């Protein structure tokens, strides 16, 4: 090939189209020839052929072009066989679709013909010791360690306070991940699971315990004190402030660990129970389950030490509050058998279990289920664990059974499928409800009572309102262009067949007439609902919110907006709550549904 220099630019003649190919210098000109690149006129086709790969269809042996980015050609060919590209790739490589390496069993996303399937679902990950066998995990650990050992990270010593790049990156990451969690695009695979309920967590916990015992891992605080480390000093100060609470101190005193002899004495000193478990396995009197036998009747059962110290056989004489006994008796009056249960979502207990209907009832006392004794996710985790077992879990708070017992009874009967009255929606007409009539209906029939709303409608038959819906302007500014369904329910002990669909259709028509093109609604998972009737009416699940909460003085519950920070007095929300003598009590998360009109 002859190279010529024209106007300080090296050039050559394209062997295909004979155009002049120009380069900045002779070396680049020669390199272009070696890569088989030619002029601008024909380089695209040449480059495409050079960078493309081909594969034979495993069904018809047709040669297919496999580009790195565009999957159109191979997808079109797969459709000729009634398959998609991922299925054709699996046939070609004689493999099954890949499941997430964290061990959850869910199928991962297919990327392309070259890369195949993702190793993990987004938001899932796993320790190498749970994903690989021990030899491979040790090899990976050694390789990773040798790659990094002796090298200093670019970010070492930099923090949000000292480096703008770190600060901006932290803000962006925090914002995007928070949004992803809210929209349910990222989920924590281990949320709601424990080492007692999940084999992967059990394996990880066991491995970590072995690594700490061998000295391979050590706590970062080892050898540090509040005198020589500022981080430990800050932690110590926070702990000291927390432990100054008398209520918390009392709880810690109750949780003190007992020795082997004390455990045997506490269980057997009444002469009614015999300990069967090994006392050496005991760790915590509220969580560690001990197996015992009833001396009188021979019943064998498990319970935490705090429930065994009374000497009661929990089979002969279950520990139930008066309210739990009343709920059990009501369910029995409907013709169902009820029990306490620790097997459905072991090791957690279901207060009231109705096996025939796969329905469970949790009675939540305002004191023992507040944040003093239960975490913010306690009720939510129970609900999710029940959902995984195809069980409807209905949470009843102490004040609801005390003050709105008839509504609770009706809701329980509905979940058990034994409502005494059924009405077809086609026999009802829709009427707009005045404020006074709407308020009376929801206060009488909705567990959350009435709430301010923009408009409301009811299903009426023989001058009787048997179901109602109300709409309002959403509280959140981001939803300001929509209508929100504020309340929706039927009359107590009444089922309106097709009633929800009829009311939602009417709300949609009214919204469109008012220039509204979107309707949203929040479904409280505390009542065991799945949202199927929303989806049946065209609503789409948008996200799952954080667990809902109220304030409680252990007698009543109050709206979360009742106690808020006071900027004029310079008091935080926590200080306002402490001043009022109230504590948070959490329910479950809401499901946000949306209907585009």
CA dihedral 190, 192, 198, 204 (to 10 degrees): 40
Residue keyed to tokens 């969690």: 181
Contact by Cβ (8 Å): 360, 393: yes
Q: In what order do the strands lie in the sheet with 20-23?
A: 4-6, 9-13, 20-23
Ramachandran quadrant class, 61 (left: phi over 0; alpha: psi -120 to 50; beta: rest): left
* Distance from the first to the final alpha carbon of the chain: 67
329-357 as b/e, with b when 16 or more CB fall inside 10 Å? ebbeeeebebebbbebbeebbbbbbbeeb
Residues 6+ apart with CB under 8 A from 471: 453, 454, 455, 456, 483, 484, 485, 486, 507, 511, 519
Q: What's the chain's length in residues?
A: 597
Residues 6+ apart with CB under 8 A from 519: 471, 482, 483, 484, 485, 507, 508, 511, 539, 594, 595, 597
E strands of 445-500, at which residues?
Answer: 455-461, 464-472, 483-490, 494-497
- pLDDT per residue, tens digit, the chain (597 aa), is 444 444 455 555 555 444 555 554 555 555 555 444 445 544 444 433 444 567 788 888 787 777 644 566 777 788 888 888 888 888 888 888 888 877 777 788 888 877 888 877 776 766 777 667 778 888 887 887 777 777 777 778 888 888 888 888 888 888 888 888 877 777 777 777 787 777 888 888 888 888 888 888 888 888 898 888 888 888 888 888 777 776 666 666 665 678 888 888 888 888 889 999 888 877 777 667 788 999 888 888 888 787 788 787 877 766 667 888 899 999 999 999 998 888 888 878 899 999 999 999 999 999 889 998 888 889 999 999 999 899 999 999 999 999 999 999 999 999 998 877 899 999 999 999 999 999 999 999 999 999 999 999 999 999 999 999 999 998 887 788 899 999 999 999 999 999 999 999 999 999 999 999 999 999 999 998 888 889 989 999 998 988 999 999 888 999 988 998 888 888 889 899 988 889 999 999 999 999 998
Contact by Cβ (8 Å): 120, 131: no
The topology (CATH level 3) of 422-596 is: Aminopeptidase (3.40.630)
Residues 6+ apart with CB under 8 A from 7: none
Q: How far apart are CA 377 and CA 585, in angstroms?
A: 10
Residue 378 burial by Cβ neighbours in a 10 Å radius (0-12, 13-18, 19+): middle
CA dihedral 477, 479, 480, 483 (to 10 degrees): -140
Domain boundaries, the chain: 4-51, 53-117, 255-308, 422-596
440-475 as b/e, with b when 16 or more CB fall inside 10 Å? ebbeebbbeebeebebbbbbbeeeebbbbbbbbebe
Q: Give the number of other CB atoms < 10 A from CB of residue 388.
A: 11
């Amino acid at each position: 090939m002859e190279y010529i220099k024209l106007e300080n630019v090296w050039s050559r003649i394209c062997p295909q189209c004979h155009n002049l190919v120009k380069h900045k210098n002779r070396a680049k000109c020669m390199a272009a020839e070696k890569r088989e690149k030619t002029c601008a006129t024909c380089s695209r086709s040449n480059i495409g052929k050079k960078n493309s790969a081909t594969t034979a269809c495993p069904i018809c042996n047709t040669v297919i072009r496999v580009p790195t980015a565009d999957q159109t050609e191979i997808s079109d060919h797969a459709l000729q066989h009634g398959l998609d590209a991922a299925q054709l790739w699996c046939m070609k490589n004689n493999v099954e679709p890949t499941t997430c390496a964290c061990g959850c069993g869910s199928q991962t996303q297919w990327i392309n013909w070259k890369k195949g399937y993702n190793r993990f679902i987004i938001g899932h990950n796993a320790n190498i010791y749970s994903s690989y066998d021990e030899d491979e995990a040790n090899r990976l650990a050694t390789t990773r360690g040798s790659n990094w050992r002796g090298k200093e990270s670019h970010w070492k010593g930099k923090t949000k306070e000292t480096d703008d790049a770190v600060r901006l990156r932290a803000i962006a990451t925090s914002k995007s991940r928070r949004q992803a969690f809210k929209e349910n695009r990222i989920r924590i695979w281990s949320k709601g699971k424990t080492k007692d309920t999940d084999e992967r967590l059990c394996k990880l916990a066991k491995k970590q315990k072995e690594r700490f015992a061998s000295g391979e891992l050590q706590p970062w605080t080892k050898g540090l004190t509040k005198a020589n480390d500022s981080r430990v000093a800050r932690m110590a100060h926070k702990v000291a402030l927390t432990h100054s609470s008398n209520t918390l101190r009392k709880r810690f005193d109750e949780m003190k660990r007992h020795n082997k002899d004390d455990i045997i004495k506490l269980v057997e000193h009444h002469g009614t129970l015999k300990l069967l478990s090994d006392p050496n396995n005991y760790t915590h009197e509220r969580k560690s389950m001990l197996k015992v036998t009833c001396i009188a009747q021979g019943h064998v059962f498990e319970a935490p030490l705090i429930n065994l110290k009374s000497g009661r056989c929990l089979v002969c004489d279950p520990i139930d509050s008066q309210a739990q006994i009343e709920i059990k008796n009501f369910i029995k009056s409907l013709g169902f058998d009820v029990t306490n249960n620790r097997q459905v979502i072991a090791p957690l207990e279901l207060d009231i279990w109705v096996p025939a209907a796969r329905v469970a009832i949790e009675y939540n006392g305002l004191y023992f289920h507040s944040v003093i004794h239960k975490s913010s996710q306690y009720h939510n985790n129970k609900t999710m664990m029940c959902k995984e077992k195809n069980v409807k879990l209905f949470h009843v708070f102490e004040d609801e059974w005390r003050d709105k017992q008839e509504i609770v009874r009706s809701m329980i009967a509905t979940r058990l499928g034994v409502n005494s009255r059924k009405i077809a929606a086609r026999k009802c007409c829709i009427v707009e409800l005045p404020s006074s009539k709407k308020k009376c209906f929801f206060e009488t029939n909705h567990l959350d009572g009435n709430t301010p709303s923009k408009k409301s409608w009811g299903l009426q038959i023989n001058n009787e309102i048997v179901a109602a819906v109300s709409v309002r302007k959403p509280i959140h500014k981001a939803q300001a262009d929509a209508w929100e369904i504020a309340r929706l329910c039927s009359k107590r002990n009444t089922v309106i067949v097709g009633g929800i669909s009829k009311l939602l259709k009417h709300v949609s028509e009214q919204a469109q007439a008012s220039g509204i093109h979107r309707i949203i609604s929040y479904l409280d998972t505390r009542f065991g609902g799945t949202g199927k009737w929303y989806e049946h009416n065209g609503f789409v699940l948008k996200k799952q919110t954080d667990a809902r909460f109220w304030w409680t003085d252990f007698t009543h519950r109050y709206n979360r907006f009742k106690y808020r920070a006071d900027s004029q007095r310079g008091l935080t929300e926590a200080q306002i709550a402490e001043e009022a003598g109230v504590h948070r009590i959490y329910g479950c998360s809401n499901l946000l549904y949306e209907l585009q009109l």
